[in-house]
Structure 1
């Protein structure tokens, strides 16, 4: 039964691979099982140890927090200090219970943990609670007496020692676990090597057996092929193979190859005969007749017609030039238009047509006795340089074979050259006969040409004059373009300088008005405090106007650089709610956000510009809506666009102003006595940003009923992203005014619940060196900092700062302005950092010229941190607190 089964090479190799895979699979399963077991053990130990250490730290932290809060309350009497105490008191038992569960297998550690619990409970009941109650009742003498004995401190010291003991025990247990795991890992490594060695040996044996059974048969075939090659190239020889595998298939394929080579050899010999036959012929009719006589017997054709191309363009046609075994004048049409019948279609498509089984047609092939119907028709185009030269049609009593078709394809390649050459020679002879007649005509025309030449010379002079005028106009246009470019540069420089000049006085206005509005010293009346708030609000509005103008200027100058990245659409509604819910509540307007179900989670666009667009549109909607609702909707269009709509029930926009409002400084109520404020730049900036993102804005509004602004944004493809990023790289060297962008601020570390008086303690008595040339800012900042009990020294420029630091380096912090005369902030900071004793001094850079690369420039020059003007004092205080705290800690 096994002998009857065909063990081909694939089966043999498959069996070999199968056996190898079994060996490898067994090894892999064994190794994987051991690795998974080891990995699970590692994960279990790691998770337990980490959690135990975390819980010990949490309990210790809760105990320390309770002790610190208790002492803070007793010292200050401030109830807010008891918040960490109450929080620690409620959390430590939960952490203790979790830790007790984890160490259930260690009775010694559990006993120590129970002692810790008892110590904490005794401290709470005998030290914390009594002293807190004494403080609430004002029993200061009892508190002093209690702390003279300080029983609570003894318990907390004991508690720390016990925590350290438990921690050391857990560290030792972890080390033992690690040593055990290392031993198991070493054993596993040795086992893997042994398994790999065994699998390699078995695989080598299997491969040797299978390859031997295949090579033996292949050698037999190779010997047969050598015999064929040594027999003088007899392509009629065939290979015989008795095996029942792919070697037999190889022999059969080789026999087919020999048959194919034999057929190709026949074709090449016939092509050579045809090529030799066409030599020396100078007449197309003789060429056509000779070709049919030679080729028709080669393809077993009983009838043939040769058509030559005539005419040009739409007038092209096929004319009958010669025939083979024709019967009378009716055998074959004398003329065929391109596209008429199969021969005409062959002339258009320039491909071979083969028609078999031509039944129920008139007899075509005739002998002396009778006429017969052809069984197969073959129509062949003849081309030269992709241009049709002729069409040949053969008819046969038998079907044309594939070999006949290949022969005609090869013959057609070279025969087109012969047809073109003969036609060219005939055309040359015709042209020679005509040239004599043309020569006489040319002599007559030469005289006329002389006159024409003179006229052309006059026209050339006129054209030359016009060319000079055009070149002059071109130069004028280039000069005008250069002037426009300079004008744009002047505008950019003007706006950058104006940004600095406006922000500098605005900085002092905002700082002083904020100090007045806060009225910490209670020196202002309620009305005066209100006046200060109005001044601060007006300054903030003026800053927003400056930012809008700078944004619009950047757009007009083409210097807005997009940052394209993934934007999470699910986060945008929360950001908008956080910003506009307070506005909606204040105005009594409903605010809703709708998200379509088919929205993708991520969209490729500039997230910052998208948020700016939405904030501008929503701000407009709330400003012009007194009652009703404002709705923000997100949807996905059929053509792949993101559709974001902002709909309100406000005053609406009349038809004649719906295009006007997208222009700068335009509003719906654009009268001198208008009701609504604003500059009219928001929608103009939105429109330009949407265009930059490849989208559009659609407005649908009815006067008195409300408006709906819909923004359509495309999903930027990777190619578009690459283009934008390339543009960003090219524009990165250009200076860009970033009026609306605030540089990143360093956020203070530590507990977020720190109270204001803690910051006050940090600031009190600190020595600050303020380097600033503007007297208004000096006055504002000195007053603000001295209100925080700081000692402020002022230097008017960088050179004065360096002179001051020569004699006195005892400053806790330096506030450094950038734009100063004589020696600017960059140079001053570099000089300071060159001195070893000043390298660790915190320096916070202040600048009103908010350029894109200012932050990096400041940090490179030696600044510790950076903040832009107009200053927000809360941010400045927070930044100063961070660096003053770091300085104390270091």
Structure 2
């Protein structure tokens, strides 16, 4: 140990040298004290270099001040940086305060040790204590103030995020309310038609042709009621998270071919061409029931809204461990008003859970859009939003990308992109 003599009047300079010599041990003792403090949890997870952080530079500034020199580093930046570091390491404010308390206590201990070695330094002792008190206050103020500012900003961000989430939930609730209101409106209309047709059937002077027409009205509206009720139940199960995946290895080509063949009579009745195109066999891992429901909804939508022309179902195998289903029609396309309500402009992202595709505003070119939950405005028909909401929910469940290309007056194409092999 170096012996310091104050006979030359340089006790402050001796103290600076003493603290510089003791710095390594001081920092080790500080780390040990914090490690032994069971109320502190952060110190144990940090390496020595991470733990001491900006403190050696702060101690160097203390030495410069004791020697009457100007600070060579911005002390406020050092203390703020230390507070930021502790914030990033997950410290509580009480942990940071406790660490600073241990450091200040050990600095005072070093000052006492110096005084014992140099009892003739009484004249400069007050000066040293004054600098040390100011130094400790600045460390506490800088580090803790920075931490507190970060904590307030984090609280503000959380409040803003909660407010945004609440607004989104309110909007979803409004959309769901509109969807249900439109659905109930359709159900009420169908029941009114059923009641009217049933009343007319009771008239004895109805001809056989009139009775046949009334029975057709009854049949058609009963089918509409059954479809709406079934879709509402499906949507409720999706929203409640009660849909269970049953992943199997299936031949998607065979499944899609069979599905298209089942709707050939409906296409013929409407005077439409319904075809399918793709590889004769396509082995994939997927939930066949949910996949069939997706395609079924899209095919029925296309057949319903296409007045003349064709509807086509296609499937292709990609080179990126993915495969794609497309449902295309020659119908009227999507009006701008519906596009604005039904789709949101987004940036490209990965396949999971939903593929985002950019949207342009030019009607002369294809528009690719990401389906968003505004189902009350689906196409130009009330009630259609339920089927498309189910499609979107099932795509999310299957981690499938859903996109649309639509050109006014020339048709619409739905594309579903899925992984060939399911990954848990």
User: Aligning the two structures, in what range does the TM-score lie when normalised by the shorter sequence?
Assistant: 0.3 to 0.5
**TM-score calculated relative to the size of structure 2:** 0.48
Relative contact order, higher structure (CA 8 A, sep 6+)? 2
**TM-score calculated relative to the size of structure 1:** 0.25
